[in-house]
Structure 1
């Protein structure tokens, strides 16, 4: 059996449920119950091997190998966390539904709501082969045409997602009307729960977002965390899978575009903790403006208010990053350098959101 630690200081795996109950911190994998669950799902018998994959800072994703089969397990972080957070059952439902609507996503194989297996709900999905682009360019993605192609493919996949009709099973996924209002209200309520310090700019930005909220011109599936690091590429010009659907909803599609722009690095712009694709600051990548122009051309969307949506993305990021930082302060994320750096990173995100709103007021999209 092969084990791979999640992070320094984590008790990643134990063998039995009794060992899990006796552990100081809940382990992430409990092997005997997990192997029994795999047996029940028809996964071939054999030695179980696993490794952490992905760059997510909240939910955890593992590649599992057993009996020649390869699959992916996705679960939430260690509890405690709010009841509505890290809802793996809801995420699996979104994956299944958007996959049936023709979008490139992994196939869900099983959903486990029984906390007796791992202590939290989780789901299993097919492993998709491909490349994820964040801080480095894989082989075949280094030339200038490939750099442009991978960004254009991301924009085109987003446009395709937003074109999925809100009918049938898709229509049952939520209420698109009032999406922006719910987002601002919910995250404003989360801030005092997530923090133990004063960062007045976070509250001020929230107030400005509420006061300047644009009318929702269109409704669509909203991924909620749409960035290059959540895409799996078959080739530079083809997205093999869109990953990480925890934040998905029905709502305003420009929220996804604003988030993509906010997490897209560009040379000469101030960096924030949400610069999650630093590779795109290299020569040969499209600018943020070019990214937005391609989306507008594909969809016909009016993007004049996009800085508001960028501000929303950055402000929300400040609030959920503050939760990570508080968990780090409490010793719940030992060895997590990203969370440790959020003491300064959260105010930087708030300042970036404030600057985006200033651009909107100045008419600089």
Structure 2
């Protein structure tokens, strides 16, 4: 595991921050150990708490770890209805800490990943969490991306079909390593169904690309207030319903039936409490907030499962290649088949919304 000293040259970073924020007596850097992608560092600069985002050590895919692209969208959203952290600076200069990086102010609050904060353990707050999540997703999809300078941020035409092709390609890469261990023939069936059922795309919007509960931060007040949307590295222009399908995949319904062991690991189990909204209720609220009648939801739900399964198969391939000893990556030996079953159940109407 990379350490703070592996990820940043403290003296070069101090000089960079002095240029943008002035001198500071207190300066400390700590690595945040959550997540599987870009590295996050917490920086104390006197009374100001900062966050640095930088690519991980080693070779990285240009698109998957382009932190400056992430900075571009967060910076563009500063004066919109989408809550994001305040940006400070970004640089392409790899001489400072070895890679491009950007700096933003750190938000105060909680990421709801494994448990609820005590202040949210009541029915009103639990209802408020779902409402904040949906209202913020609607705000993202309502951004006038041309007006905020993101008109060239993506290639939205044909986005949905390309998503199917992209994740098919990821499976092909992973299967070269994993099929000797075990095969998942259901994946081909799901891919063929997706290819045959690509819907006409709704009006294109800004798309977050990884919108779910543990990629936002809630402020410290007793009433839920979504203080900031994080992890924009997958953002682009495209089909907003891909965001909705992904969000609903990770939102465990209070009336959820039997869940796979993998879903119990990936999704917040506290969402099954009766005080939380059902997926159907959240879908209704999304339609109310956006004025969009959601069509072809089955496709977007299946696409979300397919995408997660592709990620899982890539994780498992890296585990078999000896590039990771993560127990989560190892779980994908059985986890991807479980996801494949999940996807087929949606296709066959055995998992209604």
TM range (shorter): 0.7 to 0.9
TM-score (normalizing by structure 2): 0.88
Structure 2 residue 161 is matched with structure 1 residue 174: no
Residue in structure 1 matching 2:274, options 277, 283, 293: 283
**Which structure is richer in relative contact order (CA contacts within 8 A, separation 6 or more)?**
2
What whole-Å deviation, never above 9, does each CA across 1:263-284 have from its counterpart, x for those lacking one? Answer: 1123425244474322211231
Matches of residues 47-196 of structure 1 in structure 2 within 5 Å?
47-53=26-32, 55-168=34-147, 169-195=149-175, 196=177
Describe the shift of the 1:197–1:279 C-alpha distance in structure 2 as closer, same or farther (beyond 3 A): same
Aligned equivalent of 1:340: 330
Q: Residue 214 of structure 1: CA displacement?
A: 1.0
Describe the shift of the 1:332–1:77 C-alpha distance in structure 2 as closer, same or farther (beyond 3 A): farther
Distance 1:77 1:347 in 2: 29
Distance 1:248 1:97 in 2: 12
- 5+ unaligned residues in a row in structure 2: which ranges? none
Distance 2:151 2:321 in 1: 40
- Number of residue pairs matched by the alignment: 341
- State whether residues 134 and 279 of structure 1, in contact with CA within 8 Å, keep that contact through their aligned partners in structure 2: no
What whole-Å deviation, never above 9, does each CA across 1:241-273 have from its counterpart, x for those lacking one? Answer: 111101111111111110110011234252444
Describe the shift of the 1:138–1:38 C-alpha distance in structure 2 as closer, same or farther (beyond 3 A): same
Distance 2:7 2:337 in 1: 31
Q: RMSD of the alignment, in Å? A: 2.3
SS at match of 2:315: helix
Q: Residue 151 of structure 1: CA displacement?
A: 0.8
Moved more, 140-149 or 311-320: 311-320
Aligned equivalent of 1:253: 240
SS at match of 2:119: coil
Q: Residue 47 of structure 1: CA displacement?
A: 5.0
Matches of residues 185-224 of structure 1 in structure 2 within 5 Å?
185-195=165-175, 196-198=177-179, 199-224=184-209
Describe the shift of the 1:30–1:192 C-alpha distance in structure 2 as closer, same or farther (beyond 3 A): farther
Distance 1:303 1:269 in 2: 27
Aligned equivalent of 1:270: 259
Q: Residue 285 of structure 1: CA displacement?
A: 0.9
- State whether residues 42 and 50 of structure 2, in contact with CA within 8 Å, keep that contact through their aligned partners in structure 1: yes
Aligned equivalent of 2:319: 328
Describe the shift of the 1:173–1:291 C-alpha distance in structure 2 as closer, same or farther (beyond 3 A): same
- 5+ unaligned residues in a row in structure 1: which ranges? 1-9, 15-26
SS at match of 1:70: strand
SS at match of 1:109: strand
TM-score (normalizing by structure 1): 0.85
Describe the shift of the 1:54–1:158 C-alpha distance in structure 2 as closer, same or farther (beyond 3 A): farther
- State whether residues 4 and 30 of structure 2, in contact with CA within 8 Å, keep that contact through their aligned partners in structure 1: no
What whole-Å deviation, never above 9, does each CA across 1:12-46 have from its counterpart, x for those lacking one? Answer: 133xxxxxxxxxxxx33343433343334335334
